[in-house]
Structure 1
Amino acid sequence: MIRSALGAECAQLWRLRALLGVLTRRELVARFAGSAGGLLWVWLPPLLTVAAYYLVFDVVFGMRLGGQAPTARVGTYLIVGMLAWMAFADATQRGMNSLIEAGGLLQKNPLPPGLFPARAVLASLLVYAPLLLVLMLLYAGAHRFTPGVWAVPVLLLCQGMLTFLLAYLLAILAAALRDVMQVVGVLLSLGVFLSPVLFPVDLFPQAWRWLLWLNPMTALVLGYQSALLQGAWPSWDVWLAIGAWVALLAALLSVALVRSRDQLVDWL
């Protein structure tokens, strides 16, 4: 029964994929509604962040990492990890808030609740995925189009799946207890420091390195760094960690769906 709960939810989302597409498009449009710049204002913040990292760390200061890092250039290293992290943080936060924001609609219409976290996650991926794919094309030439570079689309699919499961789980918990939103906001602010986004794994103390693997983005960031900075297909332990996180979140979400089935709308 618990396993079938998530399966039934995913089947509903697939049947309503046309509606999900409409909701996702509206979500994107709502982000720049009333502005003359339109979609530019969605892409401008991450683009400016990327440009600032490159200008400050690679051009102005010319900072370099040690020999164990996937690249010597600090700015180039930060760009890959931060783009992936910004996509994760944006999708997780918006997805977590999605059920509460759609509470009035869900109380009046018998829609699958999963539509709303899925909409938020898809909208965020549509913002950040093109930027990571552009990076892939830029680095593909530098690595002479080695097969490892083409792991990026697979990693994006894995990130979308993992983020949806996490965002939906958090959305249910936030509906039951609003304090969850505050706690997750703090964890997202701190989580970037407990991941290989700002520094290579080898710089983290060996005795505490296991803490990095408590962050669901650690394996994905390592995968992006391997593909984009080294042109190498991510190692098996990266895929194993991603699979473990997806399986764990799927199990937790299945339990949450069963436990909240009769109360979720009342919580909203």
Structure 2
Amino acid sequence: MFGMLRGIWDYRGFILTSIKNEFISRFARSKLGGLWMIIHPLAQVAIYALILSNVLGARLPGIENKYAYALYLIAGILAWNLFAEIIGRCLTVFIDQGNLMKKMRFPRIALPLIVVGSCLLNNLLLFAAVMIIFAVLGHAPNVQMLWLLPLTLAVVALAVGIGLVLGVLNVFLRDIGQVVPIIMQVWFWFTPIVYSVNIVPDYLKGTLDANPMYPIVSAYHNVLVYKVAPNLAEIGGIFVVALCLMVLGLFLFRRASAEMVDSL
């Protein structure tokens, strides 16, 4: 473990430069550049809001704003996009960078770190846009938003734990790469993002307890929309789950790192 941390520190310049170059290269020939990272999720919000706000907007208690549903939706998608993007990119990061792993000598754990850094940069740009939209819609920032720092850490830890496990397994069993996007779509709709939890039938509410993203998305709603502190006990439980998954992911990574290069 200490050797892995030392390798990360020794190659910190490589990691930071890779994050910067990746961001630049993704939008090198685009007129709007990094704005597309903001436009895509906000377009998703607009579509859901136009279709569903008339149905669900009146069922959001405790929000004194005529744009309540849009605020609720934006807060949930801010959390989910970071989670889904990290998992999606960790899923294929070793396959996508197979040639680099064969040609260069560097700590392989740097690849997931580059993914996390890039995703956090994208999420930061989206958050800045969200703050502007909230202000335009009459929902001023509040001190509770400081809770977003540990909440973002919880999202990243959970996503990295899951993504690292899936990324390693996907090298040896490529069917995983086909199944995971389907699971993520189902997972999205089983998380109260486009609907409020108060409309979920009682016989289905028990399933939310098995969804680790439910406490996180609820915490984002509490902080950004309802302006209250999150449930710390629930978030603490998510950190424990995320830590266990990260330990499992690192164990699989250390055991399989040599074989991964041969398989690629």
Task: Sort the Cα spacing of 1:143 and 1:115 in 2 relative to 1 into closer, same or farther, 3 A.
Answer: same
State which of 168, 174, 190 in structure 1 corresponds to 2:170. Answer: 174
Q: Does 1:151 align with 2:147?
A: yes
Q: Does 1:42 align with 2:37?
A: yes
Q: Residue in 1 aligned with 2:12?
A: 17
Task: Sort the Cα spacing of 1:62 and 1:197 in 2 relative to 1 into closer, same or farther, 3 A.
Answer: closer
CA shift, 1:136, in A, is 5.1
Unaligned runs of 5+ in 2: none
Identity, % of aligned pairs?
Answer: 26
Determine helix, strand or coil for the equivalent of 2:59.
Answer: coil
CA shift, 1:24, in A, is 0.8
Unaligned runs of 5+ in 1: none
CA shift, 1:36, in A, is 2.4
C-alpha contact (below 8 Å) 1:223/1:234 kept by paired residues: yes
C-alpha contact (below 8 Å) 1:140/1:146 kept by paired residues: no
The one-letter amino acid paired with 2:8 is: L
The one-letter amino acid paired with 2:110 is: L
Count of residues in Structure 1 that have an aligned counterpart in Structure 2: 262
For residues 64 and 6 of structure 2, what CA distance do their matches in structure 1 show? 40
Determine helix, strand or coil for the equivalent of 2:57.
Answer: coil
| Alignment map for 1:136-147 (pairs within 5 Å) | 146-147=142-143
Task: Sort the Cα spacing of 1:46 and 1:23 in 2 relative to 1 into closer, same or farther, 3 A.
Answer: same
For residues 185 and 218 of structure 2, what CA distance do their matches in structure 1 show? 19
Q: Residue in 2 aligned with 1:245?
A: 241
For residues 171 and 178 of structure 2, what CA distance do their matches in structure 1 show? 13
For residues 263 and 188 of structure 1, what CA distance do their matches in structure 2 show? 28
CA shift, 1:98, in A, is 0.9
Q: Does 1:88 align with 2:83?
A: yes
How big is each residue's C-alpha offset from its partner over 1:144-174, in whole Å with a ceiling of 9 and x where there is no partner?
7654221112212222233223222221111
Determine helix, strand or coil for the equivalent of 1:174.
Answer: helix
Q: Does 1:97 align with 2:74?
A: no
For residues 180 and 107 of structure 1, what CA distance do their matches in structure 2 show? 23
The one-letter amino acid paired with 1:45 is: H
Q: Does 1:63 align with 2:57?
A: yes
Determine helix, strand or coil for the equivalent of 1:195.
Answer: coil
Q: Residue in 2 aligned with 1:33?
A: 28
CA shift, 1:197, in A, is 1.3
User: What TM-score, normalized by structure 1, do the two folds share?
Assistant: 0.84
For residues 79 and 90 of structure 2, what CA distance do their matches in structure 1 show? 16
User: What TM-score, normalized by structure 2, do the two folds share?
Assistant: 0.85
Mean Cα deviation higher: 27-36 or 66-75: 66-75
| Alignment map for 1:68-83 (pairs within 5 Å) | 73-83=68-78
Q: Residue in 2 aligned with 1:254?
A: 250
C-alpha contact (below 8 Å) 1:87/1:124 kept by paired residues: yes
CA shift, 1:253, in A, is 1.0
Report the aligned-residue RMSD: 2.9
